[in-house]
Structure 1
Amino acid sequence: MVQNKPNGKTAETDGRHADPVTDAALDWFVRLLDTPTDPATLAAYRAWREGDPRHARAFDRLTEIGGMPELRSVTLAHRSTPPAPVRQARQTRRAWLGAMAASALLAMVGAHLYPDLKTRWSADHRTDTGERRELALPDGSRLLLDSDSAVTVAFDGRERRVTLLRGQAWFDVVRDTARPFRVAAGFSEVEVTGTAFSVRSDDQEDSVFLERGRVTVRRPDDPGRAMVLAPGDRLTATALGLTMQPRPNPAEILSWRDGRYAFHNEPLAAVVATLRRHHPAPILLLDDRIAAERVSGNYRLDDPLGALAALAGMVGARMTVLPGGITVLR
């Protein structure tokens, strides 16, 4: 649930942005994507945009954040025109819908397709959005891949190595003191002989949680400095180093293995980042205030939009689901 706040509501409690110019730009951003627009709406948008230089800057900034610069080009291309015949109006509407679809497609390509293609080229095993897969490794160890995750596997007579290219994985490792089991991720390398642990990796950090046994974690660029984890420990690795985190509830941090997402007192931005891996279309979080709100919950991972809708209600955010599943929270 959302953390309790002091009494006394502000203008932001309805989910609106503190800056009225940014809030108006958010309104136009969603209106121009959410429904087909007619010439009158486009004329109103242009009047608002040209009424103050700050309006144009705020809207253009949103299109950049949302990964949709094409939206700016499309809206600028529509000028106020006299009423057109019905046939022409329908053609204009079709052209607008085509342009919006192209914008959405380009956004998805930039955010999803290119990284996915890179992973396809190099991964030995991968999962699609919403899929979990258990694998038996050559030595008998078990690997469970979370949604939208990928690994490479390289076993030989000296070591057992798995590289987590993206996403999250849980390992149940068969003991073999002659061949260490190593998992490499974006910012860290985990070494074990026999244990059970999970590793999550994204562009910002790696997170390692030890369920049982013992693991050693080090950064590839500083192998001399290592940290040893005991059961229940959680560690994060970033470009700046290794940091031991407060011990989490094991049932929460490993809930994804059972198709659930349980979390407590987490920033909404972190929760949305996890749900993005379970939803096939982009999820845009366009308000820093609601992004920082701390929330708790336990949701099914096969219904990420249901989880988002519940969370939006908790923090007073507006949620809009666009064609193709693109979701905007503001």
Structure 2
Amino acid sequence: MTDEHGLNETVKLQAAHWLARQRSNLRTEADARNFQAWLAEDQAHGEAFEALTAVWDVAGSYSRDMRAGAAPSPASSSRRAVMAGLVAAPVAVGAGYMALLRPAEASTYATKVGEQQAIDLPDNSRALLDTNSRIDVLFNRDSRIVTLRYGRANFTVVSDRSRPFVVKAAEGRIIADTSNFDVRCDGQNSFVMVFSGQASVNLNNEVLRLAPGERVALMGRTIAAIDRPRPAAAGAWHSGRTVFENIRLSEAVAEMNRYSAVGLEIQGRDLLEKHISGVYRNGDSVAFANTVAVLTGAKIQETRGRVLLIASDGQPLTKK
């Protein structure tokens, strides 16, 4: 049975068990591994755990004095009452904790077109935000959650086995420990590329584990493709470059346009189908247009905020 918020009662009880176990000073390495496996099984598990964690935080500051015979503080007493109510009365859980639940505060980082931003996260992990991208960061004592709203980001994750590092992007969830990986979110589609370490992708309750060098494309709720691109090419954007390896000019133009307010446009069906290779500096639309003109014989024309690539003979545009 689910409540009005779509949370299953059984899942909520499981989440209450894991929250209590995570708070216990008897927690073991096996508990940490089993907890991560439980999170990876279903997206609803993480959502239920986040909701219960918020209840715990609302109940007051957490006391770490777990010595036998120690009198519980008012905060810890109220939390025990909350957890007891969650476990003993499943029917009341939905109304009880949703009444207490408040919107979690998250740090938001965003870049404009042409910008990149390096971010130090609260756990000493790092994020590199690509052009025109946004992430919401929510870390607490039990979880590390980053939501990529749009754009692309690279994550360098430090180990914390008691708090899995989770990135949400479109329909997918990426769960990682010590690793470095890219995530890109375009509408309902997302792409994950692992450079080092390992990461698990959770989609439709299925778990896909990615090894270094592997990339997966998620189209909505479907795993569309898994490949192994050259890491140096896939990660070139980290240093402000884009590498094209025999791709259609139309695709290259779309990628270059992500980095510049000066839009590139192609006129001519034959030119659209031409292929291009090379290393290009992100945001330099004029230099890219000059190169295309040399390689294809296209004519280029600069207008207001645009550079046209026209399928005919012409001279490269001179950068002013």
Give the 3-state SS of the residue equivalent to 1:175 in structure 2: coil
TM-score by length of 1: 0.57
- Which residue number corresponds to residue 233 of structure 1? 214
Give the whole-Å Cα distance in 1 for the aligned partners of 2:260 and 2:134.
Answer: 16
Contact 1:278/1:302 (CA < 8 Å) preserved in 2? yes
> 1:327 and 2:311 equivalent?
no
Contact 2:171/2:221 (CA < 8 Å) preserved in 1? no
Task: Structure 2: give runs of 5+ residues left out of the alignment.
Answer: 1-105, 311-320
Greater Cα shift, 242-251 or 128-137: 242-251
- Which residue number corresponds to residue 16 of structure 2? none
Identity %: 32
Count of residue pairs brought into register by the alignment: 205
- Which residue number corresponds to residue 133 of structure 1? 117
What per-residue deviation string (whole Å, max 9, x for no partner) do you get for residues 27-51 of structure 1?
xxxxxxxxxxxxxxxxxxxxxxxxx
What per-residue deviation string (whole Å, max 9, x for no partner) do you get for residues 75-124 of structure 1?
xxxxxxxxxxxxxxxxxxxxxxxxxxxxxxxxxxxxxxxxxxxxxxx981
- Per-residue deviation, 1:301: 1.4
CA change 1:156–1:281 in 2 (3 A) is same
CA change 1:173–1:288 in 2 (3 A) is farther
- Which residue number corresponds to residue 101 of structure 2? none
Give the 3-state SS of the residue equivalent to 2:178 in structure 1: coil
Contact 1:215/1:230 (CA < 8 Å) preserved in 2? yes
> 1:180 and 2:160 equivalent?
no
Give the whole-Å Cα distance in 2 for the aligned partners of 1:236 and 1:160.
Answer: 23
2:109 is aligned with what amino acid? H
TM-score by length of 2: 0.59
Contact 2:107/2:138 (CA < 8 Å) preserved in 1? no
1:148 aligned residue (132, 141, 145): 132
- Which residue number corresponds to residue 296 of structure 1? 277
What per-residue deviation string (whole Å, max 9, x for no partner) do you get for residues 203-228 of structure 1?
37322110111111123xx1x12211
- Which residue number corresponds to residue 248 of structure 1? 229
Q: Identify which of structures 1 and 2 has the higher relative contact order when contacts are C-alpha pairs closer than 8 Å and 6+ apart.
A: 1
Instruction: Flag the structure with higher strand content.
Output: 2
Contact 2:119/2:126 (CA < 8 Å) preserved in 1? yes
Contact 1:152/1:163 (CA < 8 Å) preserved in 2? yes
Contact 1:123/1:165 (CA < 8 Å) preserved in 2? no
Give the 3-state SS of the residue equivalent to 1:242 in structure 2: strand
2:120 is aligned with what amino acid? A
Give the whole-Å Cα distance in 2 for the aligned partners of 1:271 and 1:187.
Answer: 26
Give the 3-state SS of the residue equivalent to 2:135 in structure 1: strand
- Per-residue deviation, 1:238: 0.7
CA change 1:286–1:156 in 2 (3 A) is farther
Greater Cα shift, 126-135 or 239-248: 239-248
Instruction: Flag the structure with higher helix content.
Output: 1
Runs of 4+ in 1 over 4 A off after TM superposition: none
- Which residue number corresponds to residue 47 of structure 1? none
- Per-residue deviation, 1:245: 3.1
Give the 3-state SS of the residue equivalent to 1:176 in structure 2: coil
Give the whole-Å Cα distance in 2 for the aligned partners of 1:186 and 1:309.
Answer: 36
CA change 1:218–1:273 in 2 (3 A) is farther
